[in-house]
Amino acid sequence: MTTELNPFDVAKKQIDIVAKEMGLDPNIREYLKRVERSLIVSIPIMMDDGSLKIFEGYRVHHSTVRGPGKGGIRYSPDVNLDEVKALATWMTFKCSLLNLPLGGAKGGVRVNPRKLSERELERLTRRYTAEIINVIGPDIDIPAPDIATDKKVMSWIMDTYSMQKGRSTPGVVTGKPIEIGGSVGREQATGMGIYFVLQGLCEKLNFNYKELSYVVQGFGNVGGTIAELLYNDGCKILAISDISTGIFYEGGLDIPKLLEWVKYGNYLKDYKDDRYKLITNDELITSKCDILIPAAIENQIAKDNANNIDCKIILEGANGPTTPKADKILFKKGIHVVPDILANSGGVCVSYFEYIQDIHSYFWKLDRINKELKRIIIEAFEETYRISQKRKINLRTAAYVIAVGRLAKAIELRGFFP
């Protein structure tokens, strides 16, 4: 992984690029480069052995000018305030691009959840929720799962918030179990969104996506879902990876067996198949393929490896996997990069569906979820592609032109207080 820029610097640079392209009011540009509020909290918990450990947590609101904040919570030993600021910023633009009435937020705790027992993880989650309780809520900021958090964690957050408020409040988080207000289709939503965008772009480029080869970095919820969808369509997935290693097989990996393996917490490095070759993260990123899907963490494609990328299309399943300098190199190489705020926006889209289902206490069937998801994400893709062709710019800048334009108009209409 490159450390060329910290993620928040990348986010601000992306704003500068689009501001220049669209002639954005300098005051709006500076406004969008700042977050509305950042909260840093200490999270003391008693460990199972009776010792006290104190973890650091964050919750950031980048913008609520178009609606309440929306964004995940990640548990990672590497998470920091600038990373959370960047992720909150990208969420603002993602929601704006899809024209959802939401703003951008994000949260995180500096912890390795694999080193905690389930009881310790629950204590951590409940104390973190108590510490951020005044900046979250259905009308303020609605968290969701992210790296190393899941529906169980969301259940604890929802319960802790509800107990403090004295009433059941399922709309405080999304990504919950269906039994307590979750939505069908939410777990697969980000991967499903990538799938719809892939089909839309391949149609524009006259590619048959079923005949293409794929490399997927990351084999969690997002990477695993898109890999499974592609495998079921007969596509060849050459390589995948998790935090332990990458694995490669030119004949195509058996995705269902690998999904079953990691389902129980196993690492890919321990999977036994003599046909499969272990590869490094750098080898995976630069593997020759038709479609590369970085679905892990930010800053994976940068100026030091962009020239070695050998594919036709990059679909950003992760947030911020490509730096601005890499973007320029890839554009010159003729590689189509579908940006994160479009490619992986299926998750926030179905989170929005879950949120409004909770508010109205009326729940949808899966076919309606997927139909609405496809409609919204393809509308955003079509507009992004049209602007990229008209202005002769890359898809990322085109997506930002749309998102920033909507935000600028909202800011202009609301004005500045006082």
Q: Give 304's contacts (C-beta < 8 A, 6+ positions apart).
A: 2, 4
Last residue of a domain, one of 343, 378, 393: 343
Q: How far is CA 179 from CA 151, 224, 358, in A?
A: 11, 24, 12
| Cα(198)–Cα(338) distance, integer angstroms | 9
Q: How many domains does the chain have?
A: 2
Structure-block tokens of residue 110:
């500096």
Cis peptide before 143 (omega within 30 of 0): no
Q: How far is CA 262 from CA 12, 87, 240, 244, 289, in A?
A: 36, 26, 12, 11, 24
State pLDDT tens for residues 36-58.
Answer: 999 999 999 999 999 999 999 99
Task: Say yes or no: 78 and 203 in one domain.
Answer: no
pLDDT of residue 1: 43
In a domain, 14, yes or no: no
Task: Say yes or no: 238 and 339 in one domain.
Answer: yes
Task: Say yes or no: 67 and 155 in one domain.
Answer: yes
In a domain, 197, yes or no: yes
In a domain, 124, yes or no: yes
Structure-block tokens of residue 203:
């149609």
Cβ-in-10-Å burial (0-12, 13-18, 19+) of 134 comes to: exposed
First to last CA, the chain: 44
Task: Say yes or no: 272 and 206 in one domain.
Answer: yes
Q: Three-state DSSP class for 314?
A: strand
- What's 69's domain CATH number? 3.40.50.10860
Task: Say yes or no: 150 and 289 in one domain.
Answer: no
- What's 291's domain CATH number? 3.40.50.720
In a domain, 354, yes or no: no
Task: Say yes or no: 142 and 222 in one domain.
Answer: no
Which of 106, 312, 325, 374 does the annotation list as catalytic? 106
Whether the full predicted model's pTM is greater than 0.85, yes or no, is: yes
Task: Say yes or no: 141 and 81 in one domain.
Answer: yes
Q: Three-state DSSP class for 103?
A: strand
Last residue of a domain, one of 296, 311, 343: 343
Task: Say yes or no: 250 and 155 in one domain.
Answer: no
The length of the chain is 418
pLDDT of residue 417: 87
Task: Say yes or no: 41 and 114 in one domain.
Answer: yes
Task: Say yes or no: 243 and 338 in one domain.
Answer: yes
Q: What is the DSSP string of 330-361?
A: HHHTT-EEE-HHHHTTHHHHHHHHHHHHHHHT
Sequence-distant contacts of 111-115: CB under 8 A, at least 24 apart: 111/55, 111/75, 111/76, 111/77, 112/75, 112/76, 112/77, 113/75, 113/148
Task: Say yes or no: 330 and 258 in one domain.
Answer: yes
Q: Three-state DSSP class for 39?
A: strand
In a domain, 224, yes or no: yes
Nearest alpha-carbon partner for 300 in 317, 279, 288: 317
Grouped pLDDT means (10 residues each) for the chain, 418 residues: 72 94 95 97 97 98 97 96 96 97 98 96 98 97 94 98 96 96 93 96 95 93 94 95 91 93 88 91 92 89 91 93 92 94 95 96 96 97 97 95 97 91
Q: Three-state DSSP class for 268?
A: helix
pLDDT of residue 164: 96
In a domain, 21, yes or no: no
Which residue in the block uniquely carries the two structure tokens 């089909």? 199
Give the Cβ contact number of residue 81 at 10 Å: 17
In a domain, 411, yes or no: no
Residue 36, φ and ψ in degrees, nearest 5: -65, -45
Residue ranges making up the domain that contains 302:
189-343
In a domain, 16, yes or no: no
Last residue of a domain, one of 119, 150, 174: 174
Task: Say yes or no: 266 and 153 in one domain.
Answer: no
User: Quick check: is 325 catalytic?
Assistant: no
